[in-house]
Every structure is written in C-alpha cells, then in structure tokens.
Amino acid sequence: MTGSAERARHWRYEELPGVDLLRARYIRKTFVRHTHENFVIAAIADGVEVFHHRGSDVSAGAGALALVNPDTPHTGRAGVPEGWRYGAVYPSPEVVAKIAAETTTIRGTPGFVSPVLDDPYTVRLVHQVLRAADEGNALAADTLLRVAVTRLLRLNGGPLPQRRTRTAGARIAARARAVLEERMAEPPTLERLATDLGTSPFALLRAFRDAYGMPPHTWLTDARVRRARLLLDAGTAPAEAAVVVGFTDQPHLNRHFTRIVGVPPGAYQRERKNVQDPG
C-alpha cells in the first residue's frame, strides 16, 4: 500500500440519484457504532477492515466487499497496521429494490445475507463506478453500478427478515425513539424518558437495545449526524446545523460527524455542493 496519509472523499454524482460515493484510505480511523439509511457496498483494494456486525467482529481484506444492510448497526477499524484502502457505493433501498425486481427472483425486501463476500471481480466493478463518476461518464457509471448490485444480489442476496410482531418492549422502544426524534435538540434524561413512558430506566435501556442495536444516547448521536447531513445538503452552514440538531457547537459536530461519516462536515458539504450547485 503506497502513501501514509489518511484521506477520504465523500460525494454524489448527479447522474446516479439515490447513491452516495466514497473513496478513502484509513490507518488509525475508527468508526463508532452507527447505521446508514442506504446499503453499504465497500470494496477493499488494500489492507484489512474489521467491523462489528450483529454481535461479532468480521474482517474484509483486499478483493473482498463489506456489505451492510440499511439501519444495521456496525463499526469499522483497521485490521492491520497499514490500515485499509477502499471505494464504496451507498445505494438507497429504492435503487436496490428496483434492480432486484428487474434482475433477480428475490421476493420481499432485497438485502445481503453475509456481511463479507470475497469477490475481486465485483471489487473492480465498484472502483470502476467511482472512476466513471469522477470522469463524468454517466452511461458507464450507471451501467457498472447496476451490474455490480445485480451480481451481489445473485451471489449473496435474499429477502430481508420481516419485522417481528411488536412486543410491549418494542412498542416502548418505538415510542422512545419518536420522543428523541421530536426532541433531538433538547432530549430528556433516561430517567425522565422512562418515567414519561411508564417504565423503568433499565427496562427502557434493554428494550431500546433489543429494538435498535444500540442504547438511546448512541442512537441519538447517530440520528443527529443523519439530520445534520440533510441540513448540510440543503446548504445550512455547519455551525448552524450543529445547533439545530443538538450539538453544543461545531467542534462537537465535527468530531461525531467525522467518526460516523468519515469526513468532516465542511469537506462533506463542499463535495455535495459541487453536485447540487455546479455554478
């Protein structure tokens, strides 16, 4: 692996609607537990990434893909001293569903079965998508993305599990989540939230972990970063976005945003603005 500096670019290509793009090289970078609204298709070019996924650590090395379904908590870190270099596409559930309906026999909501797939051919396809987007080659980018997603679904796809029947704990967790979404900038304490929902703090904590894979405070940080991304995409300044979503100031947003998205909010917004406001 050549070079020693960490670097990352997170952007969109206007001819690939519903798809985020990332090219990065990390050495000491650690992604905290977080989720994505979109699918994660990360093609490892060099090194090894280790990520916690559904209760255990898994690793993806050169020639493999890290695959994460939407709203699935996971982490990320280097698995070797030299870190890892990768390119990633993040297609929305709608994009993947349309491709699956046209090219596979998957019934129900399509998704990935295993979080890691050794497939150098698709790794090359993902990097070719990024290269085509860089070059402004819309036909190639769109074609290669569809071929890559189709291949992954055929090799490692299946219907995502249907949501289980709501238990009392799941209903409490959903109500707690709704409160946190509504009061994102000024959330209640765990005790106050539990009292308002008619339960105990530890019962709420267990129910929330069971439902969303993380405790309420971790989920809230993740949700704040998600909302900050929407605000940044709409042109809101990072300092203002920080206050709106409930962070104390922009440095707090910078820290959490970088730990989850992989780039600082200012750099993220500049790349997105290049797409949404070419002038």
235, pLDDT greater than 90: yes
User: What percent of the chain shows pLDDT beyond 70?
Assistant: 95
> CB under 8 Å to 194, separation ≥6 — which residues?
200, 201, 203, 204
- Contact between 68 and 36 (Cβ < 8 Å): yes
Query: What does the buried/exposed string (b/e) look like for 60-73 if buried means 16 or more CB atoms within 10 Å of the residue's CB?
Result: bbbbbbbbbbbebb
Task: Select the CATH number that applies to the domain covering 168-276 from these four: 2.120.10.70, 3.40.1000.10, 1.10.10.60, 1.20.1530.20.
Answer: 1.10.10.60
**Which residue matches tokens 């982490």?**
75
Every domain of the chain with CATH number 2.60.120.280 lies at: 7-159
Question: What are the backbone dihedrals phi and psi of residue 277, each rounded to the nearest 5 degrees, phi first?
Answer: -140, 70
Measured between its terminal Cα atoms, the distance across the chain in Å is 37
- Secondary structure in 3-state letters for the chain: CCCCCCEEEEEECCCCCCEEEEEEEECCCEEEEECCCCCEEEEEEEEEEEEEECCEEEEEECCEEEEECCCCCEEEEECCCCCEEEEEEEECHHHHHHHHHHHCCCCCCEEECCCEEECHHHHHHHHHHHHHHHHCCHHHHHHHHHHHHHHHHHHHEEECCCCCCCCHHHHHHHHHHHHHHHCCCCCCCHHHHHHHCCCCHHHHHHHHHHHHCCCHHHHHHHHHHHHHHHHHHCCCCHHHHHHHHCCCCHHHHHHHHHHHHCCCHHHHHHHHHHHHCCC
- Whether 41 has a pLDDT exceeding 60, the answer reads yes
pLDDT value at residue 162? 79
Q: Where in the chain is the domain with CATH 1.10.10.60?
A: 168-276
Q: Mean pLDDT score of the chain, rounded to an integer?
A: 94
Least confident range of 80-89, 181-190, 267-276: 267-276
The pTM of the full predicted model, rounded to 2 decimals, is 0.92
Spatial neighbors of 33 by CB under 8 A, at least 6 apart, are 52, 73, 74, 75, 213, 214, 218, 222
278: pLDDT strictly greater than 70: no
* pLDDT greater at residue 167 or residue 82: 82
Average pLDDT over residues 58-76: 97
What homologous superfamily is domain 7-159 in, according to CATH? Regulatory protein AraC (2.60.120.280)
Give the C-alpha separation, 147 to 126, whole Å: 10
> Confidence class of residue 279 from pLDDT cuts 50, 70 and 90?
very low
Closest CA to 21 of 108, 118, 87: 87
Which is nearest to 109 in space by CA: 124, 97, 117, 98?
97
In this prediction, residues 102-119 reach a mean pLDDT of 97
Task: Grade residue 205 by pLDDT with cuts at 50, 70 and 90.
Answer: very high
Contact 65, 116 (CB under 8 A): yes
Q: With contact defined as beta carbons under 8 Å apart, do 72 and 131 qualify? A: no
Q: Is residue 37 scored above 90 in pLDDT?
A: yes
Q: Which residue has the tokens 């390119």?
A: 87
**pLDDT of res. 161:** 87
For residue 164, pLDDT beyond 90: no
Strands 84-91, 19-26: pairing is: antiparallel
Whether the pLDDT of residue 123 is over 90: the answer is: yes
